[in-house]
Amino acid sequence: MNRLLVLLFVLPLIGQEVLAQSGGRMSRIARLRELLAVHPGNAQILVRLGGQYVLEASETERSEDLNWARRYLLAATASDPGMSEARGWLGVLRCVEAKCQDGPSAKSLALEGLKELDGVIGRDPAHLKVRLMRAEVCLRMPREWGRLQTALDDLTAIELAVRRKPELAKQFSVDVPEIYLNLGVAQHAFGELDAARRSWTLACRTGSGTRFAQQAARLLRKTEASVR
C-alpha cells in the first residue's frame, strides 16, 4: 500500500459502530438484511447496510465487502437521490478502495472520495454526520495534501452546532465524545496544545467509559508526559 495513505486507513472511522468487533458487525448486517427483506428498497436500511460494509471492507480489504458496500449505497441513492449520507458513504468507500491500490491510482481514488465528500457538504453543509466523515478522513490524509484545515473547520462547526442544539447529535447519529476526541487531534496537529487538552478532557467527561474517552485519556497522558 502507498506509504502516503497509511494514516488514512488506520481506522476506526465514523462513530461507535466502527468500534464493534467484526463478528458483531456481521450480526448487525444479518439483522439489517432481514429488515430489508421485509422492507425492500428502504433507503435508510440500504444506507446502513452500505455503511456497515464500508467499515467491514476497511478492515478486511476483501473485494466482496467492497462490492456489497457499493451495491447497497448505489441502491440507497437510487431510492433517494438526495440522500446526503449515502453519497457521503460513497466518498468514504472510494477512500477505502484506495487502500487496495498503490501508487498514483491509490491517490487518485482517495482524491475522488474527497471530491465526493466535498460535493455532498457543499450541497448540504448542515449534515453533521457527513461532515464528521470528511473530518475523520481528512485527519488521516498526508499533511501535504492540505486537508488538515478542512478537518479542523468541520469539527469546529460540528462541535458548535451540537453545543447549541444537543438534539442534533441524536438526529445525525454522531457521538459527542467522538467529536471532542477528533477535535483535539486536529488542534494538536496545529500546535494548539491547550485547546487539544480541553477537547480531550471534554471527550472524557461526555463519554465516560466509552472507547472515545479511553483514547482521549491516553492522548492526555501522552501530551502531559511530553511537556514535563
Long-range contacts of 138-142 (CB under 8 A, 24+ apart): 138/114, 139/182, 139/185, 139/186, 139/189, 140/7, 140/8, 140/9, 140/10, 140/13, 141/7, 141/8, 141/110, 141/114, 142/4, 142/5, 142/7
Tens-digit pLDDT profile for residues 187-201: 999 999 999 999 999
Its sign, for the CA torsion 153, 157, 163, 168, is negative
Exposed / middle / buried, residue 94 (Cβ in 10 Å: 0-12, 13-18, 19+): buried
Its sign, for the CA torsion 2, 117, 15, 19, is negative
Quote the CA–CA distance of 40 and 133 in Å, as a whole number.
27
Tens-digit pLDDT profile for residues 146-199: 999 999 999 999 999 999 999 999 999 999 999 999 999 999 999 999 999 999
For the entire predicted model, the pTM comes to 0.86
Residues 6+ away with beta carbon under 8 Å from 174 = 15, 128, 129, 132, 158, 162, 168
Q: What is the residue extent of each domain of the chain?
A: 3-150
In CATH, 3-150 is 3.30.420 = no
